[in-house]
Amino acid sequence: MSYIRAENLSKQYGSGDAAVMAIHDIDFTVESGEFVSIMGESGAGKSTLLSIVGAMNPPSSGKFVVDEIDVYRLGSEKRTDFRREFIGFVFQSFHLVPYLTVVENVMLPLTTIKANKKRKRVLAEASLNQVGLAGKEQRLPSQISGGEKNRVAIARAIVNDPPVLLADEPTGNLDSKTTHEIMGLLQRLNQEGTTILMVTHSQDCATYAKRILRVSDGRLIEGEGLVEALCLDRKIPLTGAGGLMLRA
């Protein structure tokens, strides 16, 4: 069985004449250790899809299963625990807490777990080290660059070693060089075993994924094979086994 399974996911906002179907009957699976991009135009439903995958937005119908856990059959607080243990979030605008230092921001997901402060700090520092931000632990978010904020957000997302990482436009506000650094970082995390689902507008970023899900008008319109097509279309050389690993 696949690690992540979405079965006939639909989400309707509002009711009656004001009802809007954000996504219709979406089915997909993601294997453990995959790196999947979700692409689509604005309003296509990709953010709704990601929020459902993030266990934060119950679908109107359908089923969403992670590691054989039917996520939306869990109670609200159990689902919160699920998010803490299974999912790391990298938000589009980083969403760092402005009054906490870099290391404290990274420690946030560890706040509610039972471990002493020293242990939490060691984990946070290791995570920061992993994203190349060692030495900047005591800075406030306002004292670091956009790329560094993104790295802090990634460090926070991986500090408790979640099996799944969800990223929403993680490079949306970054320059080209920093974008590639961040994408390289996500790719490295994926190589280390983290399953990644990433929403992006950028075809260039999408090429870092092994597979692309394209959403249009709330429906999944393309599946596997798109990455290759995209790469051929943009003349990006394919590398790696089976042509799926695009960049080393």
- Closest approach, Cβ 218 to other proteins, in A, equals 14
Q: What gap in Å lies between CA 164 and CA 152, rounded to an integer? A: 17
Query: Which residues are CB-contacts of 64 (< 8 A; sequence separation ≥ 6)?
Result: 5, 6, 7, 9, 52, 53, 55, 70, 71, 72
Choose between 217 and 228: whose C-beta lies nearer to other proteins. Answer: 217
- Closest approach, Cβ 172 to other proteins, in A, equals 12
Query: Which residues are CB-contacts of 181 (< 8 A; sequence separation ≥ 6)?
Result: 147
Choose between 48 and 200: whose C-beta lies nearer to other proteins. Answer: 48
- Closest approach, Cβ 214 to other proteins, in A, equals 19
Choose between 45 and 147: whose C-beta lies nearer to other proteins. Answer: 45
Asked if 218 contacts 23 with a C-beta cutoff of 8 angstroms, the reply is: yes
Nearest to 148 by CA among 166, 130, 138, 133: 133
Choose between 166 and 212: whose C-beta lies nearer to other proteins. Answer: 166
Choose between 183 and 198: whose C-beta lies nearer to other proteins. Answer: 198
- Closest approach, Cβ 159 to other proteins, in A, equals 10
- Closest approach, Cβ 98 to other proteins, in A, equals 7
Q: Enter the DSSP assignment of 125.
A: H
- Closest approach, Cβ 89 to other proteins, in A, equals 6
Q: Summarize as ranges the residues that interact with other proteins (CB under 8 A).
A: 47-48, 50-51, 54, 56-57, 76-77, 80-81, 83-85, 89, 91-92, 95, 97-100, 104, 107-112, 117, 120-121, 124, 156, 166, 168
Question: Side chain identity at 192, as an amino acid letter?
Answer: E
For 5, 47, 65, 218, the CA distances from 8, given in Å and listed in that order, are 10, 17, 12, 12
Query: Which residues are CB-contacts of 122 (< 8 A; sequence separation ≥ 6)?
Result: none
- Rounded to 5°, the CA angle 209-213-217 comes to 145
Choose between 106 and 226: whose C-beta lies nearer to other proteins. Answer: 106
Give the torsion through C-alpha atoms of 195, 128, 174, 35, to 10 deg. Answer: -10
Choose between 5 and 95: whose C-beta lies nearer to other proteins. Answer: 95
- Closest approach, Cβ 13 to other proteins, in A, equals 11
3-state secondary structure of 144: coil
